[in-house]
Each structure stands twice: as structure tokens, then as C-alpha cells.
Amino acid sequence: MSANPDFDLFRTNEDHEAIREAVRAVAEAKIKPFAAEVDEESRYPTEANQALIASDFHAAHVAEEHGGVGADALAVCIIIEEVARVCASSSLIPAVNKLGSMPVILGGSDEINARYMPRLAKGEGFSYGLSEREAGSDTAGMKCKATKDGDDWILGGQKAWITNAGESELYTVLAVTDPDGARGNNISAFVVEKSDEGFGFSEKERKLGIKGSPTRELHFDNCRIPGDRIVGAEGEGLKIALRTLDHTRVTIGAQAVGIAQGALDEALAYVKERKQFGKNIAEFQGIQFMLADMAMELEAARQMVYVAAAKSERHDADLSFFGAAAKCFASDVAMKVTTDAVQLLGGAGYTRDFPLERMMRDAKITQIYEGTNQVQRIVMARQLLKGLPTAR
């Protein structure tokens, strides 16, 4: 499907709804049956990965000229939302493939795009190496270095909290290339391949949620990469990285919406069947008010995400505000909706017999990664002080 920068802000088109229907079918048949097992065993969702690759939903944003399907930003959000509805860990496959490749798409040359985008389209994962243990929200404080050696670069240092590390074949890595340069303007971006000598991984982090998506450190020990693997110009890496986050924060909002929708679905099904005091608990007004609030906030979050996705597709000037707002609001809603859903099931919601405790654990990370919600509020405030978004 070709990108359409003019689609309606507030209405999905027939193509979007056809994609939703197709993804939902794949998710229900080939992803949901393994979701609890993936979480319980903290294992990579290979079934989901295979199903997403087979249906071209693993990296639908890749352009047709590179062997992809050329889905627009809203279509990608719908894919992530529908997968997250049944398994948040699996939804990180399309989400991280977009995150890892967006710096190359936004800032890379035609040559580097032609080299790596077809590989992503064929199923090789693409992760994103920005954060470090002491450089999370303070991205400009990173210590990982890339030193010029003839035409090559030598990478040294580590990256932390890298999603799908060890599973992905390709990595966009940010490193300091001018230690004496101006802070933030001395960082460059590179593509690193899993097979590169001197590149390795730590053991998996032991996490509260998204247990099926491995999170590891990246380690670089005199890792030599060719000079033509630089993304954009030397010193432009952090600018490209932050532009990337403007676009990909929207996908985390979509993931949060999907998790919340899945929780609401489960809660609705339960309250219609559960009986107390001789009638279904869905008949009690207190329960109905909870459901109404959950659905209302969820729909508000969904609309914010879809508007931000439209702005991402058009590269609007106020995308930074809307991307941050969509991610922040949707993730807060996901945390509230999943918590309320657990409450609606009472003691049953606290057990692993139902997926809600998993959804509640999975929802928490959406408030943290790709910039904490405190950072999102800083981003929004800075945009407001610049006069963005513009008055409607």
C-alpha cells in the first residue's frame, strides 16, 4: 500500500480497516495461543515472528522499492495495536523493526537504504542502540565511542536496554565520534551487523513484563565496521536519533492502546458471565461506570495515536508535540485500564489463569521506554513554548 500523506486525520480508510482485519486474524490464530507460554518461559515469540514475516506485517513500513509493502504510519500503528491486543511482546517485533530502521530511512544515503532495507523486508530484525546505563534520558551523555581508523571505524563501549538484542541481525548504534566536540553535536550513527567481529551481547535482563522480548546490553570490543556504514553525516547522529523518536513514540502509543483494548475485551467478557447476588456483575452500576470510563479513555488515546500517526506520515512541524502526547497519554491510559481490568475480575484477575495480570505488567513499560512520560512532558512543554502546536 502506497503512503498517502493526505488521508483524513480522523478516519481510517478501507485499506486501513482491511489491514486491521487481516492482522487481527493472524494475531488470534497464530500469536494469541502462545502468548501465555511466551511470558511464562520468557522466550522469544518465534511463532509470532514467523507469522508476521509470512504476512508482511513484521516491517510493513519498508518502501516497495526495497521489497516492502510501503504501509503508511497509521497502518503500522494498526498492526502494532492489533498484535499488542493479544501479546505485547510480539508487538515489539514490528515496533522495533521500525525503530531500528528509521534512522537509516530518515538520515541515511540511498546506498545504505538499498543495502539494508531489503534485508529487513525479508525478515532480518533491526534494533536500536541509543541508551546506556548512565545515558538514558540524558542521551547526549553517552560514552560509547567510534574512532576513525583509515576508512573504517572502531567501536568501543556498551549500550543498555536494547530491545530484541540478540534476535535482530541489524542494529543502528549511536556513538561519540568527536570526544572534544560540542555536546550533542559530536555523535554519529552507524549500522552494525550481528556477525561483526567484536560485537556481542550480555545475558537477558530479568523483567517485570514483555518477557518474550529479550532486552540485553550490546558490547563493542574493538568492533571494526566499514566507513560506508555511517548513517548521515558525521556528528548528525543524535539529531537523527531524536527525529526517529518523534516518529516511533507514536508506535508505543499504539502498543499501549492495543494492550488496553485487550484488557477491556477480557474484562467485558468476564463481567457478563460472573454472577454475584443472583445476577451478572455487569448489571451493577458501579461496574458499568468503571467500564464506561475505561472505554472512554481508551478511545481518546486511540484518536490521539491516530492523529499523531497522520502527522508522522506528513512529517508535520508539530509532530514532536503530538508524538510525545500520544505516547504519554496512551501509556498512562493503558496502565489505568489494565489495573482496573484486574480489579473487575477480583481475585481471579490476580492469577495467571487470566491474561490480565500479564497485560498489567506489560503496560508498565510503555510509560518508560522511548522516553519516560516525565521526559514526554518536557518535550511537550518545550514545543508549547516554541509556539507549537499552532492554534487551530
Helix (H) or strand (E) holding 135: none
Q: What is the pLDDT of residues 312-321, one digit of tens each?
A: 999 999 999 9
User: What average pLDDT does range 345-371 have in this prediction?
Assistant: 98
Question: Cα separations (Å) of 178 from 143, 186, 297?
Answer: 11, 5, 46
**Distance of alpha carbon 182 from alpha carbon 128, whole angstroms:** 23
Q: How many CB atoms lie within 10 A of CB 232?
A: 18
Examine the domain organization and report whether 71 and 117 are in the same domain.
Answer: yes
> 193-212, pLDDT tens digit by residue?
999 999 999 999 999 999 99
| 101 shares its domain with 213 | no
Identify whether residues 247 and 318 lie together within a single domain.
yes
Whether 4 has a pLDDT exceeding 70, the answer reads no
Residues 193 and 284 in one domain: no
User: Amino acid identity, residue 84?
Assistant: A
Residue 139 belongs to some domain of the structure:
yes
Residues 6+ apart with CB under 8 A from 83: 23, 27, 31, 48, 52, 57, 90, 91, 93, 94, 258
119 three-state secondary structure: helix
Contact status, residue 226 vs residue 275, Cβ threshold 8 Å: no
Helix (H, G, I), strand (E, B) or coil at 188: strand
CA pair distance 73, 82, nearest whole angstrom:
14
Arithmetic mean of pLDDT, 42-50: 98
Instruction: Please report whether residue 1 resides in a domain.
Output: no
User: What phi, psi does 372 have (nearest 5°)?
Assistant: -60, 160
Judged by DSSP in three states, 368 sits in coil
Mark whether 291 and 155 lie in a shared domain: no
Residues 337, 351, single domain; the answer is yes
pLDDT at 11: 77
Q: How far apart are CA 213 and CA 172, in angstroms?
A: 18
Q: How would you class 137 by CB atoms within 10 Å of its CB: exposed for 0-12, middle for 13-18, buried for 19 or more?
A: exposed
Length of the chain: 392
| Radius of gyration of the chain measured on its C-alpha atoms | 21
What average pLDDT does range 159-181 have in this prediction? 98
Other residues' Cβ atoms within 10 Å of the Cβ of residue 133: 11
- On the question of pLDDT at 25 being above 50, the answer is yes
Q: What is the mean pLDDT of residues 83-89?
A: 98
Contacts of 17 (CB under 8 A, 6+ apart): none
What CA–CA distance (Å, rounded) separates 55 from 37? 22
DSSP 195-253: TSTTEEE-PPP--SS-TTS-EEEEEEEEEEEEGGGEESSTT-HHHHHHHHHHHHHHHHH
Instruction: Give residue 362's pLDDT band: very low, low, confident or very high (50, 70, 90).
Output: very high
**What range defines the domain where residue 245 resides?**
238-385
DSSP one-letter string for 67-98: TS----HHHHHHHHHHHHTT-HHHHHHHHHHH
The one catalytic residue in 132, 167, 217, 370 is 370
Q: Any idea what the CATH number is for the domain that residue 65 is in?
A: 1.10.540.10
pLDDT band per the 50, 70, 90 thresholds, residue 3: low
Number of domains in the chain: 3
Alpha-carbon dihedral angle through residues 207, 212, 213, 218, given to the nearest 10 degrees: 70
Picking from 106, 121, 136, the residue at the C-terminal end of a domain is: 121
E strands present in the chain:
126-129, 145-149, 152-163, 170-176, 187-193, 199-201, 215-226, 230-231, 275-276, 279-280
What the block records as the C-alpha cell of 169 is 541481525
94-148 pLDDT, tens digit each: 999 999 999 999 999 999 999 999 999 999 999 999 999 999 999 999 999 999 9
Residue 9 lies in a domain: no
From 169, 203, 236, the end of a domain falls on 236
| 300 part of a folded domain | yes
Q: Is 266 marked active-site?
A: no
Q: Are residues 244 and 197 in the same domain?
A: no
The predicted pLDDT at position 192 comes to 98
Gap between the Cα atoms of 174 and 181, Å rounded: 15
**Which CATH number belongs to the domain containing residue 143 in this structure?**
2.40.110.10
Residue 67: CA atoms inside 13 Å, Cβ hemisphere, count? 14
Q: pLDDT band at 307, cuts 50/70/90?
A: very high
203 Ramachandran zone, left/alpha/beta (phi>0; psi -120 to 50): beta
Q: Is the pLDDT of residue 298 over 60?
A: yes
Give yes or no for residue 89 having a pLDDT over 70.
yes
Residue 2 covered by a domain: no
